[in-house]
Amino acid sequence: MNSILPKIKGNVVNEQAVSNELFRLIDRLSNDTILTKDEFQYILDNISNQETQYLFNKGFEVKQKYYQNRVYLRGLIEISNYCKMGCKYCGINYKVDTIERYRLTVEEIVKCCDVGYSLGYRTFVIQAGEDSYYSDDVVTMMLHEIKEKFPDVRITLSLGERSKESFQKLYDAGADRYLLRHETASRKLYEHLHPSFMSFDNRRECLSNLKEIGYQVGGGFMVGSPTQSNADLVEDLLYLKELGPHMVGIGPYLCHSDTELKGNESGTLIETLIMVALTRLILPKALLPATTALGSLDKIGREKALKVGANVMMPNISPTENREKYEIYQNKICTSDTSDQCRNCIEARIVGVGHEIDLGVGDYIDFEKGDVQ
């Protein structure tokens, strides 16, 4: 992908004119929450360091308006690295034979929730590859057991694509939120990153179904994936505005040496932060995680994300012995930390950049269960 931060060539007058136009567009986006396709393209094609910092400041200002210094913590449980899908960038896709596979039982998942609850978490994010073991019956039993034991928590599922009927059953059983990154809003790029049996249209239909049912819905995309262009990123921004998700996970593409896309360059921190800040301006009230991938790319990548508009972190409460096996990308941070070590580390990082942890359920502002937005 061409850099989001190209050199602007030309005389000083032209450079100043470009800079002035970028400031104007960023201001307008901050006020109106939308720009045209060409205007988004102009920003990504021309933004330089000066305007980037201005954009970051605007993203932070909007986040402060709605969430102040609060950062919501979610306890992340990675319950299985089995996956029937073949995403070409992912280190746990079904073709990868270099990892040890695992899956947690319902009893083991509830034990993770015990740990998380004792650490103060009131949202659990339950994530897996697309593992057929977790049928509607199994997941329903899991949801009932968690909600019976911890009736004051929110449960976020991230279990991949399912039928509308399945989504409805899980919602009725107690699931509150569902994360399903669209990965890219460009059909051409989606088809480049996924095998032919995976459907761009089905992915979008799943997200629409989740919203219709009444979940708090999470979308999201990668930044810097192979062949991705600024035009592709513009499509992501426009799709997010159309979808109106309550949560958006944005992370850099991180190359895995055992996948079909091995040898490609990873995405960069600055590119990803630009997209986080733009997303904050498009969706002012959204819950935006400072993703673990950012922390894996840069030692203080998550803290930097908080300074441009992110307001969620997800410390890992999975069994420590399984964390290295959930290797979507390589060199993932915090795989050897215990759950309490992870909690203490993240709190110190959050406080260290002038923020404070919020251990409430952390719902999307204005969301009421049952509303179709």
Stretch 72-79: mean pLDDT: 98
pLDDT band, residue 366 (cuts 50/70/90): confident
Contact 43, 26 (CB under 8 A): yes
Stretch 184-199: mean pLDDT: 98
Query: What is the pLDDT, as a whole number, of residue 370?
Result: 52
Tell whether 371 is covered by a domain.
no
Which residues constitute the domain of residue 96?
69-358
Q: Both 54 and 110 in a single domain?
A: no
Q: How far apart are CA 60 and CA 67, in angstroms?
A: 10
pLDDT band, residue 213 (cuts 50/70/90): very high
Q: Tell me: the pLDDT tens digits for 286-338?
A: 999 999 999 999 999 999 999 999 999 999 999 999 999 999 999 999 999 99
Q: Decide if pLDDT at 45 tops 50.
A: yes
As a three-state string, the secondary structure of 187-234 is HHHHHHHCCCCCCHHHHHHHHHHHHHHCCEEEEEEEECCCCCCHHHHH
Q: Both 78 and 49 in a single domain?
A: no
pLDDT band, residue 14 (cuts 50/70/90): confident
Proportion of the chain above pLDDT 70, given as a percent: 95
Q: Decide if pLDDT at 10 tops 60.
A: no
Q: Both 49 and 19 in a single domain?
A: yes
CA dihedral 234, 127, 334, 355 (to 10 degrees): 60
Tell whether 196 is covered by a domain.
yes
- Number of domains into which the chain is organized: 2
Query: What is the pLDDT, as a whole number, of residue 367?
Result: 84
Q: Decide if pLDDT at 98 tops 80.
A: yes
**In terms of Cα–Cα distance, which of 94, 288, 101 is closest to 198?**
94
Query: What is the pLDDT, as a whole number, of residue 9?
Result: 44
Tell whether 45 is covered by a domain.
yes
Q: Both 55 and 173 in a single domain?
A: no
Query: What is the pLDDT, as a whole number, of residue 336?
Result: 93
Q: Both 23 and 97 in a single domain?
A: no
pLDDT band, residue 153 (cuts 50/70/90): very high
Q: Both 34 and 91 in a single domain?
A: no
Q: Both 19 and 40 in a single domain?
A: yes
Q: Both 17 and 87 in a single domain?
A: no
Q: Both 118 and 41 in a single domain?
A: no
Query: What is the pLDDT, as a whole number, of residue 373?
Result: 41
Q: Decide if pLDDT at 369 tops 70.
A: no
Q: Tell me: the pLDDT tens digits for 344-364?
A: 999 999 999 999 999 999 999
pLDDT band, residue 33 (cuts 50/70/90): very high
Instruction: Say if pTM beats, i.e. exceeds, 0.85.
Output: yes
Residues 291, 209, 75, CA angle at the centre, nearest 5°?
Answer: 30
Q: Decide if pLDDT at 218 tops 50.
A: yes
